[in-house]
Amino acid sequence: MSDHQTSVFSQIARAPEDPILGVTVAYNKDSHPSKLNLGVGAYRTEEGKPLVLNVVRQAEQKLVNDPSRVKEYLPIVGLADFNKCSAKLIFGADSPAIHENRVATVQCLSGTGSLRVGGEFLAKHYYERTIYIPSPTWGNHPKVFTLAGLSVKTYRYYDPATRGLDFQGLVEDLGNAPQGAIVLLHACAHNPTGVDPTVDQWEQIRKLMRSKGLLPFFDSAYQGFASGSLDTDAQSVRMFVADGGECFAAQSYAKNMGLYAERVGALSIVCKTADVASRVESQLKLVIRPMYSNPPLHGASIVATILKDSNLYNEWTVELKAMADRIISMRKQLLEALQARGTPGDWTHIIKQIGMFTFTGLNADQVAFMTKEYHIYMTSDGRISMAGLSSKTVPHLADAMHAAVTSMP
């Protein structure tokens, strides 16, 4: 081969598929009529279709019909109304931190972008560059924080034996973490397990973390989507703000407003004083500017329009609760279907877990069996998206699970 035909990238290795998005790729290639994709964390209707919320359509209509709207760049920190409303949504409208101007909020590219900006800020300005993430956690967490410049360690979280929380392990690991370490906490609806601490356990975690000066970094991807109540799902975060201490919160509107592709999120840093918050914000701008200059307008405008209009806001809470309730009802239906089939084992964790996912406890071989024999696609760790289920598909899933458990115990 002559020199000019050899690519400078000819030595490059082919990267593996993303394990979660790869499930969808495999699903799309399957032509079987009863195929089912339970891999992706996106809400589906009872008919298996993606849902655009009615309030989102109304807000978009409003925006389109407003002739004063232009396409000028937003400031580096994003849309002011969006940032103000986002902080209120997660911390509560009556939050002292907000009233005392102790919160620095910046609009980011959904949850992932918020985590990345927060991670890079910490790597640059915080003295203990170690972040503890739960085991297991969302697959993107270790990658985001490592690339942001932090050293990633894990703390025990899930107990496969009970399919619940390993609270003792969690407390032990955080107790042994170095003074000042950063701790990533899922605000609610832990991904991938669906297992959350109780309010009492959260209080113990808070006391332990504050006594050791550990810095809480909340990832809130499911506010309102887990329990159906925006306030209930923000309780953990608010406990850490109420004690006057500092904390980070990354918010995403992908799930709770169904704005997945709009990439709308926020990073809020609660500081001790208003002066510190304003200096923190000035440094966040220096993280964002060379990364993507400034954020996109459309999604943030939708969110701000809904959160500022009491009618739209109220309508949103109703639509949000309907999504949460449908998922809770899928949990009940799946448990009942397994019990009706006499599937071996205790499956009550399906209704105890919360949010979009159930950590079934199925192993990789059982998952592969279900894909091969029943055309059901899910991640190999046994995580299923409850939002991908419907009353029509529950029996098919229950048949597959029953067959997998009985033929491959």
Active site residues: 138, 219, 255
Q: CA 208, CA 232: separation in Å to the nearest integer?
A: 22
Residue from 286, 287, 217 nearest 251 by CA: 217
Q: CA 202, CA 137: separation in Å to the nearest integer?
A: 18
Residue from 233, 394, 220, 383 nearest 320 by CA: 233
CB-neighbour burial class of residue 121 (10 A; exposed 0-12, middle 13-18, buried 19+) = buried
- What is the CA angle 111-113-116, rounded to 5? 110
Q: CA 237, CA 298: separation in Å to the nearest integer?
A: 27
User: Which SS3 state, helix, strand or coil, does residue 337 take?
Assistant: helix
Q: CA dihedral in degrees (393, 395, 398, 404; nearest 10)?
A: -90
Q: CA 29, CA 371: separation in Å to the nearest integer?
A: 13
Q: Which residues of 374-396 are buried (b: 16+ CB within 10 A; e: fewer)?
A: bbbbbbebbbbbbbbbbeebbeb
- Rg of the Cα trace of the chain? 22
Q: CA 84, CA 307: separation in Å to the nearest integer?
A: 10
- The H-or-E segment that residue 14 falls in is none
Q: CA 346, CA 201: separation in Å to the nearest integer?
A: 24
Q: CA 292, CA 289: separation in Å to the nearest integer?
A: 6
CB-neighbour burial class of residue 327 (10 A; exposed 0-12, middle 13-18, buried 19+) = buried
